[in-house]
Amino acid sequence: MFTTRLIATSEDLAALEGPWNALADGVPLRSWTWLATWWKHYGGASAGPRSADRQLRVVAAYKSVDHSNELVGVAP
């Protein structure tokens, strides 16, 4: 069974760092590090006054295995 979760805060995004980077399998442009850095500089409030209306949206997909959720995909 799969479930999805909408990630809309920087704190929730930060919680995905380890599992997301494991999914990226060493490919830099797929990594959490890449997206989080991009969001910090171009999307978030610190990107300047023109970015105030931008909102973080990432869909995280989980596979339920033995009552624990395993991150199996992300869609930024």
pLDDT in tens, 28-70: 999 999 999 988 888 766 666 666 677 889 999 999 877 678 9
DSSP at 1: -
Longest dimension (CA), the chain: 46
pLDDT of residue 32: 95
Residue 24, SS3 per DSSP: helix
> The domain containing residue 52 runs over which residues?
2-75
Q: Domain count of the chain?
A: 1
pLDDT of residue 47: 61
54 vs 2, which has greater pLDDT? 2
pLDDT of residue 52: 63
The model's pLDDT over 13-22, given as tens digits with 9 standing for 90+, comes to 999 999 999 9
